[in-house]
Structure 1
């Protein structure tokens, strides 16, 4: 199927997945370790600040746009099962939407909200921070891998077109 819209969606998704994979990789590879090594109130304050700023940054249109473009590519891929690029588009869209968007909404955001509502000076807040660093980072690894895998699959789909 010749379609400039599909090509545009693939290009956008490749770039967006790459950018978000890099962002998530940063947190998985060293940012959370660094934040976890400083005093709890400072680590919590820094993470809460990051979470507030990111919601008003270029991250949000990229986060929403890439989720929509990936889901669209999954649907389009499912509707064109006989075409060489379709399987990679379907797989990439599903992996990204579930592994990045759904994971973010079900696992990372609720932890961000709980952290924001906590008192990092209290023992419960310190325990929450330790658990947050472990659990939030584990789910962030999923987002990193999903974004990277989707980017690769979208490149494969584009190459097959």
Structure 2
């Protein structure tokens, strides 16, 4: 793969991670707090609406596209082991795929499904707020760390060319 293609893939991964991190950061810092202040019925209904809407939004191609590009970057890092930026490429891809994608599939999505089934159940909503937000923090940190590692890989590969 040419250096230009690798740079494009790294830039796309870094930007995708940054966009995803920003969304997750907003949920972690203020959106979930605001929903929690609404009370169980309104908060759960609002979150269920968000969960339904996001599935039909531009978020989904960004979510899956960034995951695929991060996995490709990780594989490139593995196959180019020893080349400038390879360690950061592999680490960034692994951090993103495990910390964001796997976390989402294993924790956040099942919590969303449980909330959709339960509706406005008091106990489910209170536990959902705690658990979902905790795993969202993990996704946020993983997305930021991966973005930084992809930027580091870009810097390493550029400095090797000069």
Mark yes or no: TM-score above 0.5.
yes
Could you list the per-position Cα deviations for residues 118-137 of structure 1 after superposition, in whole angstroms to 9, with x for gaps in the alignment? 131xxxx1100000000000
> Which aligned pairs between 1:81-96 and structure 2 lie closer than 5 A?
81-96=81-96
Matching residue of 1:99: 99
> Which aligned pairs between 1:94-133 and structure 2 lie closer than 5 A?
94-120=94-120, 125-133=121-129
Q: What is the CA RMSD across the aligned residues, in angstroms? A: 0.9
Among candidates 141, 148, 154, match of residue 152 of structure 1:
148
Query: Distance between the aligned counterparts of 1:81 and 1:107, measured in 2?
Result: 32
Instruction: State the TM-score, normalizing by the size of structure 1.
Output: 0.95
* Consecutive unaligned residues in structure 1, runs of 5 or more: none
* Consecutive unaligned residues in structure 2, runs of 5 or more: 158-162
Matching residue of 2:160: none
SS at match of 2:81: coil
Q: Return structure 1 stretches of 4+ with deviation > 3 angstroms.
A: none
Structure 1 position 2, deviation (Å): 4.2
SS at match of 1:32: helix
Could you list the per-position Cα deviations for residues 94-142 of structure 1 after superposition, in whole angstroms to 9, with x for gaps in the alignment? 000000000000000000000001131xxxx110000000000000000
Query: Distance between the aligned counterparts of 2:65 and 2:6, measured in 1?
Result: 15
Paired residues, number: 157
Instruction: State the TM-score, normalizing by the size of structure 2.
Output: 0.95
Structure 1 position 5, deviation (Å): 1.7
